[in-house]
Structure 1
Amino acid sequence: MSSVTLTDVGLVYPDGTVGLENINLAIADGEFVALVGPSGSGKTTLLRAIAGFLTPTAGSIRLDDTLVADRSTLVAPEKRGLGMVFQQHAVWPHWSVERNIAYPLVLARVPRAERTQRVAEVMQLVGLTGFEQRNPATLSGGQRQRVALARAIVGRPRVLLLDEALSALDEPLRDSLRLELQSLTRSIGLTVVHVTHDREEALALADRVVVLDGGRIQQVGSPVELVTRPVTAEVARFLSDATIFPGDRDRNGFVATDHPCAVPAHLLDVGSGADALSGAGMIAVLPEDITLEPGTGAPTDAVVASSLYGRASNDIVVTWQGISVRCRVPGRRYLVGETVVVGIRRAMFYDAARALVELVETR
């Protein structure tokens, strides 16, 4: 297993499009890191640069202490000792399961006896013992993805790269395979870099999550840090569906611009390093920090736009004076078209530059 170090990595395409800019990231040996971000954020570009399919135009990439890419050096993908699993599992349909999994070992000229042993070991790891001679066409989607995973790890890769590897699967199969993937990678100490558009998947699986946007890293942290201490309002919006309200803060709290939203000072998480008690900025309010009560008929009431039942809480969107607000509310299920009063239990304040200074507990 190996560590991955990216130093000042940039990538500009021939047409001038910026794919990556000033990427600095150290992934430890045995760490599971997820890359998330909106479409076009650079997460797949970053994964492909680590894999060797794209060449950085600035900076360097190292596996352990070995330089594998900079402006003048490019180690070919097949010589980096990496395993990779894609969204489409790409299992060869005319080969048996056993032959599919053994293929990397055949390329590496591993002796037949050792090949047979290693294939058997990895098939047991992914729960495919007894499927050796099966035709991939007779397997379920989850089983075929297990074949792809086994093929990726049978060569004992330095790092496992996953590119939307679970997104083509339906629930609850995807959820089941997530648990198996986490257990498997930790049991053999694999270093994993996982690109996913599924935020819940990233938070559930990863030791650390990297949030990208516009080819730049916006924040790196543990799942708990990212959910509770997002460094910008945009990170809070992307990862946690936070609602953003622009406005002004003073010693009494926060008042939104041209909107009835107001949050008293004792419910604001603000930076302890802020010198002034007033200034323009914005608040981010997480769905879990919003309460709903039956409407009173006041002009400031909100209207339920959608209401989805959940086991732990109901996922509700209300339209509040022109702003869509996402809420996760336990108990009663509000009906579409019903008027409600919106309450806020906690909000995170960001200055006008959208930077969250060190959070302090104010409640």
Structure 2
Amino acid sequence: MLPRPVPPPSRPLVVSADEDLLDDVLRVLAAAGTEAEVATGGPALRRAHREAGLVLLGADVLGAAPVRALPRRPGVVVVAAGAVPAPAWAAAVELGAERVAVLPDDEAWLAARAGEAVRSPVERGWLAVVGGACGGAGASTLATALAVATAARGEGVLLVDADPWGGGLDLLLGAEDAEGLRWPALAGVRGRLAGDALLAALPEAAGVHVLAAARDEPAPVAAEALAVVVEAARGCGLPVVVDLPRGAGFDPAAEAVLAEADLALLVVPARLRAASAARSLVAGGPWSAARVVVRTVPGGLSAAEVAAVTGSPVLTELGHDRGAPSRGERGEPPSVAPRSPLGTVTRLLLGELVRPERAA
């Protein structure tokens, strides 16, 4: 399912009964080019809290019953004038605030944050998740090829390696020596991450930004860190392709991205054991909505037989590419030429993902 257009954000909501603090906050928002909606309780507060792109809570109202009754949501900032007492910090954490901004020291940050919240929205990039039913299925190659094919259309794209023991997707792009961050450097990210800053810090090859696993420090990718990285790129309009570990089933990181995916692809070699493994993944688990891509093998099952074993319809077949191994050894990206096996499949996949007006 493709993401719907993002509606324009409403005005920031400011909640405070401190007139001096309110004046300071409104002045900062005016400098950021926006006006605020002010509310302190009742239906107006609940509506604005639900709809606002940014919610600014004065430290003076954190203990008020109407504020404490509000549900947790992203985009909440507590604003204070001067030192913040310990109870206010505790209340900010309880409300899920992303930051406590202390004025006047944090005025520049608050203005930038407000400007970000009211900026003209960018259509979110799509998310494709690729995994293999077993080791050696070819999922990493397909994920990389899909990213390369997207970049070949003139779009930016982020390729995320969520398989810490796969050797690193930068190898498939010939970018193993390129400067930039790998997973260990981002393993602890939480909350929000600026998409443009993320992309600027990553290696790029063949038009693809890649966040790869580090070969010298393999470690599982935390679900929250993966979600933050994916959201940062999608939030600035970039498509994202995530390569999951082989056979990833009820892994928290896998579940997090599969739940958000516009297209989930499970690559299944045309062998009975691989098809049987795929059946266990799609039977009511996080892969239940995945589309099956059958990688043909000599003497293997037919697509119809794979569909019968897995209990899932086959989206397409990926034929054997005799030149793929040698290209990989030379550090060349997968070929997505129009008549190549990967070119044929990625063209079909992009047809599933890309809106007609974007493809034009």
Alignment TM-score, normalising by the size of structure 1: 0.28
- Structure having the higher helix fraction is 2
Q: What TM-score do you get using the length of structure 2 for normalisation?
A: 0.28
